[in-house]
Structure 1
Amino acid sequence: MTFSICAHCPRTGQVGVGAMTAMLGVGKLVSHAQSRVGAAASQAFMNPYLAIDGLALLEKDMTAEQALEQLIAMDPGRAGRQFGIVDTKGNAAAWTGDMPQDWKGHRTGKSWTVQGNRLAGPEVLDAMVETFEQSENDELVERLLKALEAGESAGGDTKGHLSSAILVMDTEAYPLWEMRIDHDDDPAGAIRKLYDDFRENLLWQIKKMPTRANPTGAFDFEDDIECT
């Protein structure tokens, strides 16, 4: 019932996940990413610990393929799972069990993986891949968003779409981008509007926030009077 994309941007080092589904709150449990480590998506009969533990294994210097192999071997519910994971070395791996509803499948490439179940057909994933690869000069967040839009335009989830999410991690432990549409008749359109709003009104504030290297951040405490 979900289609998603996990990716690493070799140019910026960013990692991220984009997802859309017919159920509520796709961003809450499907999307996972860790700065300078990797990104993962767990869906179908989801087990969020596949993504959580997968990122922990990447942090221990396993590749995406090694992490997936270990996790799937240990999961008694593997037949119902769909899982994708990427690391920051260009590796990507995915798993689709037998139980998720057709059409189901995945695609992997250098630094990306796309996966989905209960889709209109393989054309959904193919459209996502084509769009993602053709937009290689764009920022990662825009590439993920375009990939979701392409998947939705190609038919997406056969039960329709209700929620969407994009998560992008950059250098810090907090997200550079985290957008969630939890319940909307047009989650693709809604997240595009949210993206435009964030870019204009929030991104500049995030970029001024404290970092590990600069605990005071770039705010001018006299002139930047707005705070949360």
Structure 2
Amino acid sequence: MTFSLLARCPETGAFGMVISSSSPAVAARCAHARAGVGVAATQNITDPALGPALLDRLAAGRHADQAVAEVVAGTAHAEYRQLMCVDAGGRVAAHSGGHVLGIWGVAEGPGVIAGGNLLAHDGVPAAMVAGFLAARGALGDRLVAALIAGRDAGGEAGPVHSAGLLMVDRESWPVAELRCDWSDEARPIEAVARAWQVYAPQMAAYVQRARDPRQAPSYGVPGDE
């Protein structure tokens, strides 16, 4: 009931992830990233604790495959979980347990991995990776392109109702965390894509305001001069 893509930008070292699901607030439970460390997904009958567990192991110097193997070995009910991560070297790894729901799949590319469960067909993750690699622009642009490619390839077997985009760069906090936690119209991907379109031109200004508000651009609100 989820499809997602995780990636590291080779030019900047930033990490990002996009995800969509028929479940509400999927990004709140499933998307995890840490600047300079990596990005991790925990999905399919989700245990949200496994995302930070993967990132902790990456921070301790484990490669992606080692981190996944250690988390799987050390957690109960791993057969119900689908895990993915990308490390600081752009290495990728995944685990899909024997009780992953419905049709599932995983696809990889250079510094990028996609996976899902309860999919329309097992080619959806490959379509997302292809969409990401073919896209141009900033990391966020490529992530949105991947999410749309997954949707257009069939996405989940049923309608999706939530989606999200998460990105970390040089700050200790996410530079972008855009979510649609529920859409009755089953258009959460379009909502996240629109949010990115609005936010992207302003993202650097928000980062600068956090670093040093004395050097920040205007806030763009009434009364700000």
Structure 1-normalised TM-score? Answer: 0.91
Contact 1:94 1:108 in 2 (8 A): no
Superposed CA offset, 1:87-109 (max 9, x none): 11021001111112221121223
SS of 2:178's equivalent? strand
Alpha-carbon deviations, 1:115-159, whole Å to 9, x = none? Answer: 100001122112101111112x42111111111101111111112
SS of alignment partner, residue 85 of structure 1:
strand
Read off the aligned partner of 1:153 and give its amino acid letter: D
- Bigger shift: 164-173 or 189-198? 189-198
Residue 216 of structure 2: aligned partner: 219
Counterpart position of 1:52: 52
Residue 197 of structure 1 aligns to a residue whose secondary structure is helix
Shift of 1:225: 7.7
Shift of 1:217: 6.1
Which residue of structure 1 aligns with residue 182 of structure 2? 183
| Partners of 1:17 and 1:204 in 2: CA distance | 19
State the identity %.
30
The one-letter code sitting in structure 2 at the alignment partner of 1:106 is V
2:49 and 2:101 mapped to 1: Cα distance? 22
Question: Does residue 78 of the first structure (1) align with residue 75 of the second (2)?
Answer: no
SS of 1:130's partner is: helix
Report how many aligned residue pairs link the two structures: 220
Q: What SS is found at the alignment partner of 2:23?
A: coil
Q: How much has 1:25 moved relative to structure 2?
A: 0.4
The equivalences for 1:58-97 within 5 A come to: 58-97=58-97
CA contact (8 A) 2:127 2:153 kept: yes
Q: Is the 8 A contact 2:108 2:126 kept in 1?
A: no
Is the contact between residue 4 and residue 17 of structure 2 (CA under 8 Å) also seen in structure 1? yes
> For residues 11-65 of structure 1, what are the alpha-carbon distances to aligned partners after superposition, in whole Å with 9 as ceiling and x for unaligned?
0110011100001001111100000110001000111121101111111111111
Q: Structure 2: where are the runs of 5+ without partners?
A: none
Q: Deviations over 1:158-208 (max 9, x none)?
A: 1211000000001001211110001112011111111112124x4243132
Distance 2:55 2:120 in 1: 30
**2:200 aligned with 1:199:** yes
Residue 172 of structure 2 aligns with which residue? 173
The correspondence of residues 1-228 of structure 1 with structure 2, limited to 5 A, is 1-135=1-135, 137-184=136-183, 185-200=186-201, 202-211=202-211, 215=212, 218-219=215-216, 226=221
- Secondary structure of the residue aligned to 2:175 is strand
TM score, norm. by length of structure 2: 0.92
**Amino acid in structure 2 at the alignment position of 1:103:** I
Alpha-carbon offset, residue 209 of structure 1:
2.3
Quick one: structure 1 residues 217 and 153, their matched pair in 2 at CA, closer, same or farther if it must change by over 3 Å?
Answer: farther
| Contact preservation (8 Å) 1:43, 1:83 | yes
The letter for the 2-side match of 1:189 is E
Q: Distance in 1 between matches of 2:167 and 2:191?
A: 18
- What amino acid is aligned across from residue 94 of structure 2 in structure 1? A
SS at match of 2:215: coil
